[in-house]
Structure 1
Amino acid sequence: MIDLHAHLLPGVDDGPDTLEQSLELCRLAASSGTTHAICTPHIHPGRWENTRKSIQVKFAKLQRAVAQQCIPLHLGFAAEVRLTDEIITQITNNQIPFYGEVDGYEIMLLEFPHSHIIPGSDKLVQWLMNRKIRPLIAHPERNKQVMKDPALLQPFIDADCWLQVTAGSIIGAFGDGAQTIARQLLDDDAITVIASDGHNEKARPPVLKEAFTHTSEVYGVERAHRLMQSTPASIISSQFHGQSLAPLTPFDSVVSE
């Protein structure tokens, strides 16, 4: 499986504090069947002042440590970008790392505030799309306003944004409201990617296996494979320079374990 949203870099946001904690998360991800993970630290002006360059430096150190520890996990990096009016400047100054390019669009992980959708967000999304940047909206099912009115997502779907749902939401780890929206989006086949949004070892582990099992059992292995393997692979292929992103083991073995 491929995890496109994981907070694995140490000391940059609300993920792990130390390199050893980061390595433990990488071991946990690998042991649960994840072969590739993208480090996506927050970029949130006024709270986490990360940039493409600063993330790249931290990433290189973690990547070397993972190789030295022989952890079987391939790493890449992007960022989880909070929707603010500073995005325009960040884009202009090349401060945001993207996942890669698909069909002529750079793919960016975009985070709404957890409490609501800011009025005018659709206009910023259109500004991005006009510049060939496609938002992959992070965990929309956990937005409190969306929980009350799921139709609020429709304008963003209509604008050709993609949706990334959290694996834990599907299995109920974020409460009934998030689970209801996540499963409704699965029913509607509106999800582009399922990812862990892993932050730590216990409360929010970087694990996809349980969500893969549920999705396979209810919607079929092909759907689970698309959401946690083939679509993520197409999004990040440029980061791995021709390296095969095929799973190391058959997906039916992940379900049957």
Structure 2
Amino acid sequence: MIDVHSHIIPGIDDGARTMEMALEMARQTASVGVTHLVCTPHMHWGTFDNTVEMIQEGFNALQTAVAEEGIALNLSWAGEIRINEMVPAWFKEDKLPYLGQKNGKKVLLLEMPHSNMPAGLEQLFRWLISAGVQPLIPHPERNRDVWKRPEKIQWLRNQGCLLQVTAGAFTGRFGEQVQAIAMAMLKDNQIDVVASDTHDIKRRPNDMGEAFEVVSKAASKEKAEALFIYNPAEIVGVPVA
């Protein structure tokens, strides 16, 4: 499986706090069947003021440690960018780290607040897409505005966004309401990618293996392979057998 969303680089956001913890996360991630993990620390202006340079430095140290420990996990890096007024400026200054590409556009993991869908989204999405950037929205199933108005999920798709559901949503880690939304999105073909969004090995471990089985039973193995392997592999540019 190809996992495009994780907080495993130690010490730079609310994920792994130490290198030891990051290595435990890498082992756990590999144990559930993930072969390639994208490290996506938060870029959240005023909260986690990470830069491309900071992420690259942390990634290099993590990659070296994973190799030294002999953990069978390939790594790459990008970022999870919180929607804010700085995004267009960061784009113009080439300060945005991308997951990869899809249909000739650079894919950006672009996070909404959990509490709401902020004003101006339509204009931001239109601007990014016209500039050659494909928004990939993580965990819409955990957004409170979506809880109130599930039709907002299709609205996001109508704006041209790709959608990434968290693996733990399928396993019930975030409660019955979130699980129900994820299952409805699966039924309605509204999911492009499933990813772990792992932060640690206990509270937010990598649930990709268990979620793959849930999706296989609820839909089909072919659908699970598309969401957990082939679609993310296409974005990241990872060859799959």
* TM value normalised by structure 2: 0.98
- The corresponding residue for 2:151 is 151
Q: Shift of residue 121 of structure 1?
A: 1.0
Corresponding letter in the other structure for 2:29: A
Q: Matches of 1:218 and 1:101 in 2, distance apart?
A: 29
Note if contact 1:40-1:79 (Cα within 8 Å) is conserved in structure 2: yes
Q: Matches of 1:152 and 1:120 in 2, distance apart?
A: 14
Q: Matches of 1:14 and 1:230 in 2, distance apart?
A: 29
Q: Matches of 2:112 and 2:100 in 1, distance apart?
A: 21
Q: Shift of residue 92 of structure 1?
A: 1.1
1:137-216 correspondence to structure 2 within 5 Å? 137-216=137-216
Which segments of 5 or more consecutive residues in structure 2 lack a partner in the other structure? none
Kindly provide the CA deviation profile for residues 70-100 of structure 1, in whole angstroms up to 9, marking residues without a partner as x: 0000001111100011101111111111011
Corresponding letter in the other structure for 2:158: D
Q: Shift of residue 16 of structure 1?
A: 0.8
Q: Matches of 2:92 and 2:153 in 1, distance apart?
A: 27
Q: Shift of residue 153 of structure 1?
A: 2.5
Corresponding letter in the other structure for 1:218: A
Note if contact 2:171-2:207 (Cα within 8 Å) is conserved in structure 1: no
Q: Shift of residue 41 of structure 1?
A: 0.3
Note if contact 1:122-1:155 (Cα within 8 Å) is conserved in structure 2: no
Corresponding letter in the other structure for 1:57: E
Q: Matches of 1:226 and 1:154 in 2, distance apart?
A: 20
Determine if the alignment matches structure 1 residue 245 to structure 2 residue 240: yes
Determine if the alignment matches structure 1 residue 15 to structure 2 residue 15: yes
Q: Shift of residue 154 of structure 1?
A: 2.5
Q: Shift of residue 189 of structure 1?
A: 0.9
How many residues in Structure 1 have an aligned counterpart in Structure 2?
241
Cα distance, 1:161–1:230 mapped onto 2, change above 3 Å? same
- The corresponding residue for 1:131 is 131
Q: Secondary structure at the match of 1:38?
A: strand
Q: Shift of residue 191 of structure 1?
A: 0.1
Q: Shift of residue 170 of structure 1?
A: 1.1
Q: Shift of residue 103 of structure 1?
A: 1.3
Q: Shift of residue 196 of structure 1?
A: 0.5
Corresponding letter in the other structure for 1:185: M
- The corresponding residue for 2:67 is 67
- The corresponding residue for 2:85 is 85
- The corresponding residue for 2:224 is 224
Corresponding letter in the other structure for 1:42: H
Q: Matches of 1:37 and 1:195 in 2, distance apart?
A: 9
Moved over 6 A (4+): none
Q: Shift of residue 172 of structure 1?
A: 1.0
Corresponding letter in the other structure for 1:50: N
Q: Matches of 1:180 and 1:207 in 2, distance apart?
A: 17
Q: Shift of residue 206 of structure 1?
A: 2.0
Corresponding letter in the other structure for 2:134: R
* TM value normalised by structure 1: 0.92
Corresponding letter in the other structure for 1:38: V
CA RMSD of the aligned region, Å? 0.9
- Could you tell me the percent identity over the aligned residues? 42
Corresponding letter in the other structure for 2:99: Y
Which segments of 5 or more consecutive residues in structure 1 lack a partner in the other structure? 247-257
